[in-house]
Amino acid sequence: MHPYKILDWDSSFFKYKVAMLLVPTYNYIELNTALQNLKREQVKLAYWSPENESKIDEEKVISLGGKLVDIKTVYRINLDGKSLENFKKDERVKEYTDFLVHPDLFTLAYESGIWSRYKVDENIGRQKFEELYKIWMEQSVAKKIAKTILVTHKGTRLTGMITLGEKEGIGNIGLVAVNAEQRGKGLGFALFQEMFRWFIQHGYKIITVVTQEANVSACRFYEKSGFEKLSAQPFYHFWI
């Protein structure tokens, strides 16, 4: 078996070959060999997410063209024993029911991704980053990758949003953002209170969310909201 996999969707989206390196632990020879094979296959970008960060020789990874672009951090909360009465209803929060995507949702989607590896890696470029998050938002509104979207609003403007979905029977938070000009008004707290209520109403006991370790404010907010940190896994990009 090749220690890599060509990613069809990513390759189609970026218009060049993209692969995932399947080298689970740091092994310089195996990693170098895989990258040389990818070069012969004309792969331009390779992702690598090793299992054990502590054993990585960072200098050698850099010498091979690797760049740490994310530490994928997973949080989880168990709502067993909780009820709607445990969470405050806030009239500022509504479910987004329109079929068309409000322009403010695109802006909020871009804001939600400023710490993502697609934004951190400057080689990807702003255009592709925004195009990716635009697709994510469109598919969320179309209920293809989200079950609902909760929003806060001020007049006709949308000031915050959170997309809610499911993965393998577990509730999942997707995109989260509050307009920079509206922060400090408790909108994030209000969205999360309603998020908890929605998941309870729809029978979900466990909720997970993935964020970036570099997004310190988000990590602190999840922890303050009762989430526990499950894992933190490094993510590298290799431009070949």
For residue 155, the model assigns a pLDDT of 87
Strands 157-167 and 4-6: unpaired
For the chain, domain boundaries? 4-64, 75-233
Whole-model pTM: value is 0.92
Chain mean pLDDT for the chain? 94
Count CB neighbours of 214 within 10 A.
Answer: 15
Written out in words, the top-level CATH class of the domain with range 75-233 is alpha beta
- How far CA 12 is from CA of 8, 19, 64, 124, 135, in Å, comes to 6, 12, 25, 14, 14
pLDDT tens profile 65-119: 999 999 999 999 999 999 999 999 999 999 999 999 999 999 999 999 999 999 9
Order across the sheet with 4-6: list the strands: 4-6, 17-21, 43-48, 228-239, 66-78, 206-212, 170-178, 157-167, 148-154, 93-95
pLDDT at 16 over 60: yes
CB 118 within 8 A of CB 218: no
Share of the chain above pLDDT 90, in %: 86
Checking if the pLDDT of 184 tops 90, the result is: no
Run of H or E including 36:
helix 28-40
Q: Is the pLDDT of residue 236 over 90?
A: yes
CA-to-CA distance for 106 and 136, rounded, in angstroms? 9
Count how many residues are written for the chain.
Answer: 240
> pLDDT tens for residues 138-152?
999 999 999 999 999
Distance separating the N- and C-terminal Cα atoms of the chain = 21
Asked which of 59-63, 135-139, 236-240 is least confident by mean pLDDT, the reply is: 59-63
Decide if pLDDT at 54 tops 80.
Answer: no
pLDDT in tens, 219-231: 999 999 999 999 9
